Amino acid sequence: MKEIFTGGSSGAPPAPAALAAKVRTLAPSMTRSMQRVAEAVAGDPAGCAALTVTGLAELTGTSEATVVRTARLLGYPGYRDLRLALAGLAAQQQSGRAPAVTADIAVDDPIADVVAKLAYDEQQTLVDTAAGLDTAQLGAAVSALAAARRIDIYGVGASSLVAQDLAQKLLRIGMLAHAMGDPHLSVTNAVLLRSKDVAVAITHSGSTGDVIEPLRVAFEHGATTIAITGRPDGPVTQYADHVLTTSTARESELRPAAMSSRTSQLLVVDCLFVGVAQRTYETAAPALAASYEALAHRHSPRSR
């Protein structure tokens, strides 16, 4: 047994540029002093890359051990590798001009600014999410879904919409997918799942009981379980065979967390869907075409 913080997130390879995102994702599970280190690192990659362990420890008013621990948590074997990644990040930032529109939304912002800021933030969320997605986990999840007999998807609150979105899409390519909002229904259905089935839990916080419970039941009945969450260390991952991490953007008073987490979740869901559609192309393509055809009749005659 080595240290307390050995795992970091699931066997993710050292992140290249998704560092700021990773910091935000993991920040809640960090201790105070580790947060200080993470903050310094995310705030000034170039500056920190120039420092030794000791230097960074002094700068943040912590100890060398803490710096190393933070590096580990972020997914690197040690500080040396974090430092290399930092240098890379700095170089990237150097070449790509920083837009610097990162400012928060204020109460008196003109509407045009609101549009610009929201669009920018959601873009950022997409970049972070894409960078932070573990493609191995994603691939495994896709395989499981593609081979599934039945798919149950759990999500409450804002995540319930994402669950519905995934269910709708999968249904359209002929998979038996159901989005479950009601916790009771979720659990009573979860007991019916078997090894050929897949259960998906969607929760930003990673600790939504109403969603964890059905996933646990599904897990214990032998179904393959997938968690889509912003907290890869949250309780939900306990019962998840595959964990897909969504990114966490900083939130504020006027922009609740639900906004960016939703964007992030939807991207993951889209990736799952396209992945499954690829694997089941033979049946998916005609199904998509058929559903498109069916919809045409619901529209009034085209104008123009």
Partner DNA sequence: CCGCCGGTGAAAATTTCCTTCACGTTATTG
Partner DNA sequence: CAATAACGTGAAGGAAATTTTCACCGGCGG
Between CA 143 and CA 135 the distance in angstroms is 12
**Nearest distance, CB of residue 253 and a second copy, angstroms:** 6
Q: Please report, as ranges, the residues that interact with DNA according to CB under 7 A.
A: 2-4, 31-34, 52-54, 61-66, 68-69, 71, 77-81, 83, 301, 304
Query: Which one of residues 10, 27, 29, 44 is an interface residue with a second copy (CB under 8 A)?
Result: 29
User: Which of 220, 257, 226 is CA-nearest to residue 243?
Assistant: 226
Three-point CA angle 125, 127, 129, nearest 5°: 65
**Nearest distance, CB of residue 35 and a second copy, angstroms:** 12
Between CA 208 and CA 200 the distance in angstroms is 13
Residue 287 within binding range of a second copy, rule CB under 8 A: no
Residue 277 within binding range of a second copy, rule CB under 8 A: yes
**Nearest distance, CB of residue 62 and a second copy, angstroms:** 18
**Nearest distance, CB of residue 194 and a second copy, angstroms:** 26
Residue 4 within binding range of a second copy, rule CB under 8 A: no
Residue 62 binding: pick among a second copy, DNA, none (C-beta 5-8 Å cut-off by kind): DNA
Upper half-sphere CA count for residue 74 (Cβ side, 13 Å): 34
Between CA 225 and CA 236 the distance in angstroms is 10
**Nearest distance, CB of residue 28 and DNA, angstroms:** 11
The count of residues in the chain is 304
Q: Which stretch binds a second copy (CB under 8 A): 59-67, 68-76, 147-155, 256-264?
A: 256-264
* Owner of token pair 């909002």: 181
User: Which of 72, 61, 2 is CA-nearest to residue 30?
Assistant: 72
Site for a second copy in 58-97 (CB under 8 A): 83-85, 87-92, 94-96
Query: Which one of residues 11, 65, 78, 115 is an interface residue with a second copy (CB under 8 A)?
Result: 115
Site for a second copy in 205-244 (CB under 8 A): 205-210, 212, 231, 233-235
Read off the amino acid at residue 243. V
Between CA 158 and CA 261 the distance in angstroms is 9
Neighbours of 43 (CB within 10 A): 11
